[in-house]
Structure 1
Amino acid sequence: MSPQRLALRTVLLGRPRTVLAVLVIAASLSALDLFAGHIASDRARLEYRAVIGERLGHLAIQRTRGKQNEGAPMFDRDEAARIRQIAEAMPGVALVLPQMSVGGMASTGERSALFRGEGIAADAPAEAPGKLKAGVRNGIAVSVGQARTLGLRNGSNVTLTGAAEDAETRPLSAEVVDIFSTSGLSADARSVLMPFELAQSLLDTQRTERIVVFLTDPAAMEAKRDQLRRALKRGGVAADIRSWQEQSPSFIVEEKTARISFDCVAGMAFAAIAAAIAATISMNALERRREVGTLRALGMRNVSVFLMFAAEALWMAAIGVVVSLVASGLIAWVVNRAALSYSAHHALRPAPMLVELDLNRMTMAVVTAMAVALLAALVPAFKAARGGIAEALT
């Protein structure tokens, strides 16, 4: 009988020790899969928050850093129009919008406060927080915190004064047309949203700071960035193209934290798998000394004994992987069904973030688990293969 078939027979006998090792492997991988799914779900939430909630878009076209030192930190009107034309002509582009950051002082006459605002186009994504009213050129949307500070409500009037270097600023009157919540957004979220032309007027300029691009397929973001970079170069436009990850400082911090957390959980999971495999193979080899000695006396070579115990570890890992995949899928399905049922009965509350399964990380975890199982079995398998026949049969 081949070493592989002997190993499979030993595993299928279902000894308590072997079953326990398989369950440890399955539980460790299932926990790792669900944690990876949590990270993937959290990343999707961060992407939505940055791209839609904070209006960063998937890509942002800005003046190259080197040009900023030459006194032209923004695009002039012709350059902005040419960039929009190039970007809108590309396949896979859903929306191209100009944006302008503006800061300064907001005053109601009784109260004053600093603000960090954003000039946006009227056709911004509908699901983004903060709505401007079409036809109201001086209509602004104010965050709940800013409105509370200034005592504003819908219909209130406020005077805005922009702050810009080397530019003459003048106060402009604005009307509050919407008060939006910034809960769930990062601390970098703007507190005042205004029409793009109003932001230009506050800074006394006709230039455009950046042009934001929304894609139909976010997964193709890097490919689209390369295509857009080449198209702009052919059009004679010198510009940097930044992804939403590069624009969001909070995402960079949270992504780094998530990677460290995943590495720690993965290390503990694989350590548990290695310990379970090593202990099981060692005890099996010790208890089956007579069996191994008999096989050796019947002509089995040392290499075949080694392969038998190594294959036994791989079979345990393979069965544990199958059990973990089934368990992970079942747990994710149950949690998602429960979450959707809860949100359906509480429609006024925010929808919960569903559990996702990261197939890339799951595949890497499976390959790593098989490799860890093989490495953990090497020492006990080698010791079992080196044992003498006479010593094993005594």
Structure 2
Amino acid sequence: MGAWFRIAARNLIKNKRRSLLTMLAIAFGYGAVNLFGGFTAYMYEGLREGAVYGTMRGHLTLFKEGFLEKGQLDPTAYLLSPEELQAVEAVCRCLPQVVLATPQMGFTGLISNGKVSTIFIGRGVMASALREIWTRRFLTRVQEFDGRPLDDAVPDGVAVSRGLARLVDLKLDATAVVLANTVDGLVNALDVTVAQMIDVGASALEDKVLLAPLGFARSLLDTQGADRVVLLLERYEQTETVRARLGAALKQAGLPVEIRNWIELSPEYTRTKKMFDMIFFFVFVIVFVIVVMSVVNTMSMAVMERIREIGTLRALGLKRRGVLVLFGLESLLLGLVGGVLGMGVTTLGWFWVKVAEPMWTPPTMVRPIPLKIFFVPEYLGFSWLVMVGLCLLASVVPARRAARQNVVEALGHV
């Protein structure tokens, strides 16, 4: 077999210019696919972080059974009482994978500066838990607010989205009045101070979001409960395992709770991921079609130029199978060397992005963040195998044409 490889290598070197161009086409195609795959993996990680940390949903969210279907119709019946919250949090903390278990309260109402009023969608959170959620983000670790952090000791200090602040003409440290219905259906109003202005990537929510300490939300709604408990885990991969174990533990404790994971609560993540999967598929196909056509062209030219050589080899006793093997090995060498060069292209592109740290603003962000390209071994290995396999397949048609030539006609070819 070593002799076959040496012959194939010599044939490629004999037409080194064409072979080099083909190898470069393979290398840049392979590198482009890998770099785009690394960027896609980075985008997936950003989407996951946005769903888990940016929206403060955590990896798992616990609701009282029936809350998602009927909670708006009868809020009081589907709130978790203080006793239930303590029991749920105690069960959650027994699992070593749970990093954080914190109650939250959703609410809606009106915010007014005394002259202008508008609706808002609010979330009551523990300020200390909010800091823990945001600081665990490693991919987009940027400050997404102006002002001072929320503080549980200052319950009237709230955060409003920039669009909401513009609608009601609020600045940092400005005061406003928040109105909402209590859990019993009464109207309640409390004064607030704008402690911070936050960035909201979703344009539909840019003029509606308000964050407040959980104590403020409870005072506004006149309750000591919460409508959900948010869990942060050590890793995404633990989500379903913890969900199963937690569900069994809560059922054993007699707590009527339903558990939703971050994917179920973030349908936009699934839609966006499917879109990127389709884009990556088309890029993958287009690039490798170009690679295949380059190899087919190279092998076809080699067959046309080496008709007399093939006839001589056949006359000396080389079987048709040997001709197929010879051209197959040439294509294989093109793929292998092109893959090695492509790995270099991938490494150079990855290293440049890592050193230069170009900034960009994703669709779900307001402020620019560093662009990253992940080095994903699975993409590298899979695309390399596909590329080498396609190079071998690309040699089949030219090799079969060469092997089927009549020996006498091939020897007399001019």
**TM exceeding 0.5:** yes
Q: Which amino acid aligns with 2:55?
A: E
Residues 379, 104 of structure 1: alpha-carbon distance in 2 compared, 3 angstrom cutoff: same
Report whether the alignment pairs 1:319 with 2:337. yes
Q: Please give the root-mean-square deviation of Cα atoms over the aligned residues, in Å.
A: 2.8
Report whether the alignment pairs 1:6 with 2:23. no
- 8 Å Cα contact 1:139-1:174 kept in structure 2: no
Identity %: 31
SS at match of 1:61: strand
Distance in 2 of aligned mates of 1:309 and 1:50 = 51
Distance in 1 of aligned mates of 2:399 and 2:65 = 60
SS at match of 1:262: helix
Which residue matches 1:248? 266
Q: 2:299 aligns with which of 281, 301, 307?
A: 281
1:186 to partner: Cα distance: 6.3
1:316 to partner: Cα distance: 0.8
Q: Which amino acid aligns with 1:356?
A: F
Which residue matches 2:138? none
Distance in 2 of aligned mates of 1:75 and 1:137 = 21
Q: Which amino acid aligns with 1:320?
A: G
List gaps (5 residues or longer) in structure 1: 343-348
Matches within 5 A, 1:1-394: 2-13=3-14, 15-64=16-65, 68=69, 72-126=77-131, 127=134, 129=144, 131-163=149-181, 167-184=184-201, 187-188=204-205, 191-339=209-357, 350-394=368-412
Q: Which amino acid aligns with 1:103?
A: T
- 8 Å Cα contact 2:128-2:152 kept in structure 1: no
Give the total of aligned pairs: 387
1:42 to partner: Cα distance: 1.9
Distance in 2 of aligned mates of 1:286 and 1:42 = 46
Residues 314, 107 of structure 1: alpha-carbon distance in 2 compared, 3 angstrom cutoff: same
1:184 to partner: Cα distance: 4.1
Residues 238, 13 of structure 1: alpha-carbon distance in 2 compared, 3 angstrom cutoff: farther
Residues 63, 294 of structure 1: alpha-carbon distance in 2 compared, 3 angstrom cutoff: farther
SS at match of 2:102: strand
Answer with 108-117 or 205-214: which moved more.
Answer: 205-214
TM-score under structure 1 length normalisation: 0.88
Which residue matches 1:345? none
TM-score under structure 2 length normalisation: 0.84
List gaps (5 residues or longer) in structure 2: 136-143, 361-366
Residues 186, 321 of structure 1: alpha-carbon distance in 2 compared, 3 angstrom cutoff: farther
Distance in 2 of aligned mates of 1:25 and 1:324 = 7
Distance in 2 of aligned mates of 1:79 and 1:198 = 20
- 8 Å Cα contact 2:188-2:221 kept in structure 1: no
Q: Which amino acid aligns with 1:78?
A: E
Residues 12, 234 of structure 1: alpha-carbon distance in 2 compared, 3 angstrom cutoff: farther
Distance in 2 of aligned mates of 1:74 and 1:367 = 54
SS at match of 2:41: helix
- 8 Å Cα contact 1:4-1:307 kept in structure 2: no
